[in-house]
Amino acid sequence: MPFGNTHNNFKLNFKVEEEYPDLTKHNNHMAKVLTKEMYGKLRDKQTPSGFTVDDVIQTGVDNPGHPFIMTVGCVAGDEESYEVFKDLFDPIIKDRHGGYKPTDKHATDLNFENLKGGDDLDPNYVLSSRVRTGRSIKGYTLPPHNSRGERRAIEKLSVEALTSLDGEFKGTYYPLKSMTDAEQDQLINDHFLFDKPVSPLLTCAGMARDWPDGRGIWHNDDKSFLVWVNEEDHLRVISMQKAGNMREVFRRFCVGLKRIEEIFQKHNHGFMWNEHLGYVLTCPSNLGTGLRGGVHVKLPKLSTHPKFDEILKRLRLQKRGTGGVDTASVGGVFDISNADRLGSSEVAQVQLVVDGVKLMVEMEKKLEKGESVDKMIPAQK
């Protein structure tokens, strides 16, 4: 948020108790972790670009959360946030990412050939396959914090990089603020268009400022690879197609990412990455791979099985409705994707999706025949 360092210095005139937020009714990772003492320790710090602890936590203060859904409740404003506010981020990261320690190292593996199988998910059940991640461009601050000038520079650089792609990646950029009605309709029909964020989780973190300035969508002519510019992250990279060839989706994902990264590096603006946190993104929940690989799959019987949620948990997968996060499933069709982001590689996470979905489709078929699936319930992965 553009409150930054200067206003922060003024706030230091007031006592810690006076400034410490009231988190008594809150249920999010930030509220669990941020004590008054920690707040007192962090409040006079700022990153070099002027992002402060209040900027980090505002979204968590404004959104107390739900007893059943544990949101993160904080964001990074730049790469250095995760270092300057380590005391706050490390325990949140540990809690959110299965015990990941400050000393742990994250493995990146975008070598699609390491994936086993994945090209034979039954298209009678698996309607579509998709892999997405985010990337932040080094040298710029992140969506909660960046100025219009920075956001436009990110867009300009991204467009240069993307429009230089060729072959299967040849495509076009559609800036949100100047697209025609016809283009808009087409992008909606293709399920590509992203909207101005309405979720208060995002708006309270300052991510919708100046909409739609500097925002846009790029996609290849085949409509199988697309990039969102300046939505919740600098870039969201998505590879998708109908039916169940996750292997192909992942191949295109890895190849495309690599090509894009090369171009950014040539311009001295590689992606934000380090060996502890992997790819650095706005929300701590997306650190590591930032990868959500998933399918839309028909599981009308399995989804009503009493052990469905337990099965997902053991497979390290999560379910969502077909509208994406925070939506309900329609007609027994679920969005099934990996739950992990940090501490395992891209290949490993997509492998879990491939293996897990394959197993669940087998279970669905068994249930269709009226057979039991109890013996198929997997061990915890």
Partner 1 sequence: MMASFTRLIAGRNPAVLLASLGAGTVAAGVLLSDSSALSAEGKKSLYPPSADFPDLRKHNNCMAAALTPAIYAKLRDRVTPQNWTLDQSIQTGVDNPGHPFIKTVGCVAGDEESYEVFAELFDPIIKDRHNGYDPRTMTHPTDLDASKITNGVFDEKYVLSSRVRTGRSIRGLSLPPACSRSERREVERVVVTALAGLKGELTGRYYSLGDMTEQEQQQLIDDHFLFDKPVSPLLTCAFMARDWPDARGIWHNNEKNFLIWVNEEDHTRVISMEKGGNMKRVFERFCSGLKQVEQLIHERGWEFMWNERLGYILTCPSNLGTGLRAGVHVRLPNLSKDTRFSKILDNLRLQKRGTGGVDTAATGDTFDISNNDRLGKSEVELVQMLVDGVNYLIDCEKRLEKGQDIKVPSPVAQFKK
Question: Is there binding between residue 103 and partner 1 (CB under 8 A)?
Answer: no
* Least distance from partner 1 to the Cβ atom of residue 51, Å: 10
Shorter beta-carbon distance to partner 1: residue 275 or 310: 275
**6 binds partner 1 per the rule CB under 8 A:** yes
Q: Which of 93, 126, 208, 260 binds partner 1 (CB under 8 A)?
A: 208
Residue 376 makes CB contacts below 8 A (sequence gap 6+) with 359, 362, 363, 366
What's the half-sphere exposure (Cβ side, CA atoms, 13 Å) at 118?
25
Asked if residue 164 binds partner 1 (CB under 8 A), the reply is no
Instruction: Please tell me whether residue 324 binds partner 1 under the rule CB under 8 A.
Output: no
- Binding segment for partner 1 (CB under 8 A), chosen from 116-124, 183-191, 200-208, 365-373, is 200-208
Q: Could you give the CA distance from residue 272 to residue 264 in angstroms, rounded to a whole number?
A: 11
Nearest Cα residue to 336 out of 119, 132, 129 = 129
Least Cβ distance, residue 267 to partner 1 (angstroms): 5
Whether the Cβ atoms of residue 87 and residue 41 lie closer than 8 Å to each other: yes
Instruction: Rule CB under 8 A: say whether 94 interacts with partner 1.
Output: no
Q: In what order do the strands lie in the sheet with 317-320?
A: 171-175, 216-220, 225-229, 235-242, 126-135, 292-298, 333-338, 317-320
Q: Is 109 in the site for partner 1 (CB under 8 A)?
A: no
Site string for partner 1, 73-92 (x = CB under 8 A): -----xxx-xxx--------
Q: Provide the mask over 116-135, with x wherever binding to partner 1 is found by CB under 8 A and - wherever it is not.
A: --------------------
Joined together, the tokens standing for residue 287 give: 């650190």
DSSP letters, 342-370, are SSS-HHHHHHHHHHHHHHHHHHHHHHHTT
Q: State the chain's maximal CA–CA distance in angstroms.
A: 71
User: With respect to partner 1, which residue has the nearer C-beta, 99 or 149?
Assistant: 149
- Closest approach, Cβ 2 to partner 1, in A, equals 6
Q: Which of 15, 69, 180, 182 binds partner 1 (CB under 8 A)?
A: 15
The answer to whether 361 and 301 have CB atoms below 8 angstroms apart is: no
318: which strand partners? 337
DSSP 125-156: TEEEEEEEEEE-BTTS--TTT--HHHHHHHHH
Residue holding tokens 């940090």? 342
Q: How far is the CB of 146 from partner 1 (least distance, A)?
A: 10
Please say which residue, 273 or 308, places its beta carbon nearer to partner 1. 273
Q: Quick one: which of 27, 38, 62, 94 contacts partner 1 (CB under 8 A)?
A: 62
User: What element of type H or E holds 22?
Assistant: none
Nearer to partner 1, 63 or 349 (CB): 63
Write out the residues near partner 1 by the rule CB under 8 A.
1-3, 5-7, 9-11, 14-15, 18-22, 25, 47-50, 54, 58, 61-62, 78-80, 82-84, 138-141, 147-150, 152-153, 156-157, 177, 203-204, 208-211, 213, 265, 267-270, 273-277
